[in-house]
Structure 1
Amino acid sequence: MKALVKEKPEAGLVLADVPMPETGPNDVLIKTLRTGICGTDLHIRAWDGWAQENIAAPRIIGHEFVGEVVEVGGSVNTQDVAVGNLVSGEGHLVCGHCRNCQAGRRHLCRNTVGLGVGRDGAFAEYLVLPASNVWVHRNPSALDLDVAAIFDPFGNAVHTALSFDLVGEDVLITGAGPIGVMAAAVAKHAGARKVAITDVSPYRLDLARSVGVDLAINVAESSVAEAQTKLGLREGFDVGLEMSGRPEALREMLANMTNGGRIAMLGLPSEDFAIDFGRLVTSMITLKGIYGREMFETWYQMSVLLEGGLDLSPVITGRYGYREFDAAFDEAAGGRCGKIILDWSTEK
C-alpha cells in the first residue's frame, strides 16, 4: 500500500510502498478516505527540534482521518464496530492500567502514545487501530467526509470551549488558527453572548469572521482593552480560550478577565514564561490546561453539535489528492489557510 513516511531523520516526507498493517484480535483495519494535516505533521516534515526528540524514523505519520472499516479482529464486539462502518479515531492510545485509565479518565493517561508519532499513523491507504480507539459515525449520510476527517482537532476545540459554561458569557479567544476558529464557532453555537478572537493574520481573522465571531481583533493594531469598549463590556471577559501558546496572548487575556474569570489553555508554549500571578490570585481566576479530547465524551459532543447545525465548512480551505502531498503541506505551512485535507479515495 501507499503511505506518507518520515523515511529518514531529515527534512521531508516520502510517498512509499509499505506492507499492509497486521490486524490483531482487538484491532480494526480501516481503509482511509480522507486525512487532515496538523501542525504536528508540519513539525515532522520540517524535522525541527520537537520532531527530532519525538519521532523515530521510519514512521508513517498522520492522526486526523476518516475511513471505512474493512476488517475486525476476532475479539472485537461487532455490535460496537463492524465492517462497513464509517469511522474516525482517537489518536491518543492509552495504557488502560494506570490510575486514571482504571478510573475512566483515559484522557489523563500518563503513558499515552500518539498515532503518527509513537506508532504508525493514518497517512496511508490503510491503518490499524485498537477497536477501543474507534469512533463510529452513526449518521454517515449526513456527515461531510472532510469534516469527519478533522474530528481530532475539532475535538481539541470542543474540549477547550466546553470546559466552562458558555451560555450568556463573554468569551475571548486568543489565536485564530483552525482550532481557535472552530472553538469560536462552538462558543457561538453553545450560547455565548459575545465572542472576540485575536490574531495578527488578516487572513485568519477573516476566517474567524466567516463563522460569526462578534469581533476579530488584530492585536498588531489594537488592544483587547479597546475591544472591550467596542463590545460594551464593563468588567472584562468571563471565559478565555487560549489557543496560541504565545506569552503575550495569555498575559493580555489575564489582564482583561473579569473577577472570577475562567481560562482554558490549549495553546502549547515553546518555552517557559512569566505571568502576573498576583492578578490571577487576587482576581480569583481559574486557569485550566487542556490536552486532546475526553474519551469519549468530547466525541459525543462533537457529533451532537454537528447534528444541531454547527457548520465547520468555512474552516476547510484546501483539498488535495494524496499524491499532491507536497503542495498540500506547502499550503498548510504557509499560514494563509484553514484546515487542509488529503483525499486517499482517488488516484489523483
Structure 2
Amino acid sequence: MEFSEVPTPKLGLRDVLIKVRIASICGTDVHIYDWTRWAQHRFTPPRIIGHEFVGDVTRVGEEVTQIKVGDRVSAESHLTCGHCYQCSNGNSEVCRNFKLLGVDHDGAFAEYLVLPEHVLWKNDSNIPDEWATIQEPFGNAVDTVLAEDVAAKTVLILGAGPIGLFATGIARACGASLVMVSDPNNYRLAISKQMGAHIAVNPRRQDVVQLAFDATQNNGVDVVLEFSGNNQALNQGLKVITPGGRISILGIYERRVNIDLNKDVIFKKIRIYGITGRKVFSTWYKTSRFLSSGLVDPGPVITHHFPLKDYEKGMKLMKDGKCGKVILNV
C-alpha cells in the first residue's frame, strides 16, 4: 500500500464528484493493509481503499436529480444494482450484484471520489464531521442491537471494537437494563464504561459465563450481540443466553466455527440473526437521529486523528488495539 498522486476520477451521467473532508479507518481496511487471507481472496489491486467518510459535492452528472453541488454527504458502502431479487424485495443490503466501496470501487482515502447518486446520504447539519464519517459502522451497530427490542432487557456484548462500543451506547439509549461488555483489550473496556456499560469483563482474567449468570440471578442474558468474530466468545455467548433469547452476529470469522446446535440453540429455542451492512436507507435515518438528537454520543470511541498521508500510524494503532476509531483528515 502506498500514498501517491492519481488523476481525479471521471464523472458518469448519474455520478457525483465528492471532495472528501475526513475519512475513518475500518477493520476491513486493516485486513487489506495486512494482506490477510480474506483480503487475498476478496481484493484485487490496484484500488483506493476506504469507505467511511464525509465530504462535499463539487460536481454532478447530467442525469443527477436529487443531489446538488454543495451538499455534505456520506455514502452507503454497498453499491447495489437495484434490480436483482433481493433489491426488488427490500433486501438491498444483500444485493446479489453489489460492489463494495473501497474494495470493488475506488474509495474514500483520497482527496476526491466519484459515486453513483443513489448511494449518497445527505448529512444532518447538526452532526459534526467526525460523527458523520462513522455513520456507516454506527449503522451496523444499530441493526445488530435493534434486530429485536432491547428495552428493559439484559444484554451481553462480545467484542469492544468500535462497532461493539457504538452498540453499547445504543443499547443504553434504547433502555437495556443491563449492558455487559466482554473484550480482552483493557483500553477498549475502559471506553465501554464511558459508553455506558454496567459491567466490563476481560475474558482472559475473568469467567464471562459465570459473571453473566451472577448478574442475571442465574437466568442468563436476554440478548447477546456478537462482534468479535471469535469462536470461543461465540460459544460463551450461546451458553449464557436465556432460553427463548436471541443472538445477533456481526463478527466475521476467519474459519468455520464449532457450536453445539442441539444444546445451545435448538433446545433453548433461541433466535439467531446474521447482520450484514445496513438496511438501505431506513437504518441511516435511525443512525442520523441517534446522533443528531444526542441520544448517543460516539465521542469517546473516536480517539485519534491523523493526516491522510500518515495513514500507517492509524493502521498500526488499529492492529495493536490501542485506539477506538481513527480519523484521517484529508
Which of the five TM-score ranges fits, normalised by the shorter chain?
Answer: over 0.9
Match of 1:5 in 2: none
CA RMSD of aligned residues (A): 1.2
- Confirm or deny that 1:23 pairs with 2:11: yes
SS in 2 for 1:15: coil
- Confirm or deny that 1:300 pairs with 2:300: no
Deviations for 1:163-205, whole angstroms, at most 9, x for unmatched residues?
1101111011101111101111100011111100101111111
Deviations for 1:69-127, whole angstroms, at most 9, x for unmatched residues?
111111111xx321111110011111222101112221121222111101111111000
Structure 2 unmatched ranges of 5 or more? none
Q: Which amino acid aligns with 1:37?
A: I
SS in 1 for 2:136: helix
SS in 1 for 2:4: strand
1:26 and 1:75 in contact (8 A); partners too: yes
Provide the TM-score with structure 1 as the length reference: 0.92
2:140 and 2:163 in contact (8 A); partners too: yes
**Post-superposition offset of 1:234:** 3.6
**Post-superposition offset of 1:230:** 4.7
SS in 2 for 1:269: coil
Of the structure 1 ranges 259-268 and 103-112, higher mean CA displacement relative to structure 2 is found in: 103-112
Match of 1:10 in 2: none
Match of 2:111 in 1: 125
Match of 1:75 in 2: 63
Cα distance in structure 2, aligned partners of 1:264 and 1:102: 25
Deviations for 1:292-337, whole angstroms, at most 9, x for unmatched residues?
1110111000011112311000000000111222222222221111
- Confirm or deny that 1:95 pairs with 2:42: no
Cα distance in structure 1, aligned partners of 2:320 and 2:184: 14
2:55 and 2:74 in contact (8 A); partners too: yes
2:31 and 2:38 in contact (8 A); partners too: yes
1:89 and 1:135 in contact (8 A); partners too: yes
Match of 1:263 in 2: 247
- Confirm or deny that 1:289 pairs with 2:269: no
Match of 1:228 in 2: 212
2:303 and 2:323 in contact (8 A); partners too: yes
2:213 and 2:240 in contact (8 A); partners too: no
Cα distance in structure 2, aligned partners of 1:233 and 1:223: 16
Provide the TM-score with structure 2 as the length reference: 0.97
Cα distance in structure 2, aligned partners of 1:271 and 1:331: 25
SS in 1 for 2:3: strand
SS in 2 for 1:252: helix
**Post-superposition offset of 1:282:** 0.8
**Post-superposition offset of 1:46:** 1.6
Match of 2:301 in 1: 315
1:164 and 1:239 in contact (8 A); partners too: no
Match of 2:203 in 1: 219
**Post-superposition offset of 1:229:** 4.9
Match of 2:50 in 1: 62
Cα distance in structure 2, aligned partners of 1:52 and 1:246: 21
Cα distance in structure 1, aligned partners of 2:36 and 2:258: 25
Cα distance in structure 2, aligned partners of 1:57 and 1:242: 31
Cα distance in structure 1, aligned partners of 2:190 and 2:271: 30
- Confirm or deny that 1:207 pairs with 2:195: no
Match of 2:154 in 1: 170
- Structure-2 change in CA distance of 1:233 and 1:23 (3 Å): farther
Match of 1:8 in 2: none
2:165 and 2:195 in contact (8 A); partners too: yes
Where does structure 1 differ by over 4 angstroms across 4 or more consecutive aligned residues? none
Q: Which amino acid aligns with 1:265?
A: I
Structure 1 unmatched ranges of 5 or more? 1-12
Cα distance in structure 2, aligned partners of 1:102 and 1:225: 42
Deviations for 1:248-284, whole angstroms, at most 9, x for unmatched residues?
1111111101111010000011111211111211110
2:38 and 2:254 in contact (8 A); partners too: no
Q: 2:72 aligns with which of 86, 102, 115?
A: 86
